[in-house]
């Protein structure tokens, strides 16, 4: 059975169904009511202080969950519609673009060191786990765990 994770509250669930009822509408979170869940190939246990950011297929922020304000100082309205790499100032080791890789190839990128420079604030070191959306809409779930 597929594992799901809510990008808003981090709640994990297991279900046979990928949609809600007979429609193609994605499953929502039964814990907090967020509009959609990300399906994971394996069960994934984020750290309690992890920050969740959701992007569209072009890498623009469409939502954020718990932990983002604590890590970045930014609220969801400060980020919506902005390119995730720019608004969070993501700098991966060796200049790699793991966000671009996950978007282009539709692959998971796990446990990558990243520095977050949100809004020109002081840099914060974190570990990034990036999951592609396995639907026709594309997009990413980016989980940033402060070091």
pLDDT of residue 137: 80
Tokens of 95: 């200049």
Q: Let me know how many helices (H) and strands (E) the chain has, helices first.
A: 4, 9
Residue 17 has a pLDDT of 58
- Lowest-confidence region among 38-42, 68-72, 93-97, 128-132: 38-42
pLDDT of residue 61: 96
Cβ 108 vs Cβ 98: under 8 Å: no
For the cut 80, the answer to whether the pLDDT of residue 48 exceeds it is: yes
* Rounded CA separation 137/140 (Å): 10
Tokens read off for 16: 């046979």
pLDDT number for residue 4: 85
E strand spans, the chain: 3-5, 12-14, 38-40, 51-55, 61-64, 91-92, 109-116, 124-132, 140-146
* pLDDT for res 27: 72
- pLDDT value for 34: 87
Specify which residues 8 forms β-bridges with.
none
Q: Mean pLDDT throughout 104-130?
A: 90
Helix boundaries (H) for 67-142: 68-72, 76-79, 84-87, 98-105
pLDDT(6) > 70: yes
Superfamily of domain 3-146: PAS domain (3.30.450.20)
- Give mean pLDDT, residues 81-97: 95
Q: Which of 53, 46, 51 is nearest to 82 (CA)?
A: 53
Domain extent listing, the chain: 3-146
Of these ranges, 10-14, 35-39, 42-46, 128-132, the one predicted with the greatest mean pLDDT is: 128-132
């Amino acid at each position: 059975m597929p594992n799901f994770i809510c990008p808003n509250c981090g709640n994990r669930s297991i279900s046979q169904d990928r949609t809600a009822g007979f429609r193609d509408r994605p499953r929502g979170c039964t814990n907090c009511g967020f509009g959609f869940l990300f399906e994971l190939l394996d069960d994934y246990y984020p750290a309690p202080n992890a920050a969740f950011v959701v992007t569209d297929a072009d890498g623009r922020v469409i939502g954020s969950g718990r932990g983002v304000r604590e890590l970045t100082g930014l609220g969801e309205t400060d980020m919506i519609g902005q390119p995730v790499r720019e608004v969070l100032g993501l700098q991966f080791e060796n200049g790699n673009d793991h966000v671009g890789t996950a978007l282009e190839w539709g692959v998971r990128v796990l446990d990558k060191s990243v520095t977050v420079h949100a809004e020109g604030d002081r840099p914060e070191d974190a570990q990034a786990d990036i999951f592609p959306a396995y639907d026709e809409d594309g997009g990413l779930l980016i989980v940033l765990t402060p070091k």
